[in-house]
Structure 1
Amino acid sequence: MFVLNKREMADEKLNHLIDGYSVYAETEELIRLMNRRIESHELDITIDDTDQGCWFIPNN
């Protein structure tokens, strides 16, 4: 069985954001982790919160 580590997923998504790509998170835990990482790296990100999940879009 393959187990997904939410912290590793958040780190990978953060790296995509830093590279200038938009990312999507669908669970509350992953959205919380992403918000924490974005704040700690002081990234300029637009957050589009939907009923299904959350888009993180870099403003560069």
Structure 2
Amino acid sequence: MVISNKRLARAHVEKLKEGYSAFTESPEVARYIEKELDSLGFSVHIDRTPYGFWYIPLRDET
């Protein structure tokens, strides 16, 4: 079964919006995630490692 990188990125963004962290090994999926987050104006901490990319949602301090 083949899963689209864009679909996988959207699934990760949905997890982030729910307050969960997301991880991907693929630079292509990471680019899609970051593009989607930029368009939404959603703030996350991105930890780029040699093994992949961690996305951690930032809490609102209001």
| TM norm structure 2 | 0.91
Q: Using the alignment, how far apart are the partners of 1:44 and 1:24 within structure 2?
A: 16
- Percent identity (aligned): 29
The one-letter amino acid paired with 2:28 is E
Residue equivalent to 1:51: 50
Give SS of 1:12's match.
helix
In structure 2, runs of 5+ residues without a counterpart are: none
Alignment of 1:3-18 (within 5 A): 3-18=2-17
CA distance in 1, matches of 2:40, 2:16: 11
C-alpha root-mean-square deviation of aligned residues, in Å?
Answer: 0.6
Q: Following the alignment from structure 1 to structure 2, what is the Cα–Cα distance between the partners of residues 30 and 55?
A: 12
- Number of aligned pairs? 59
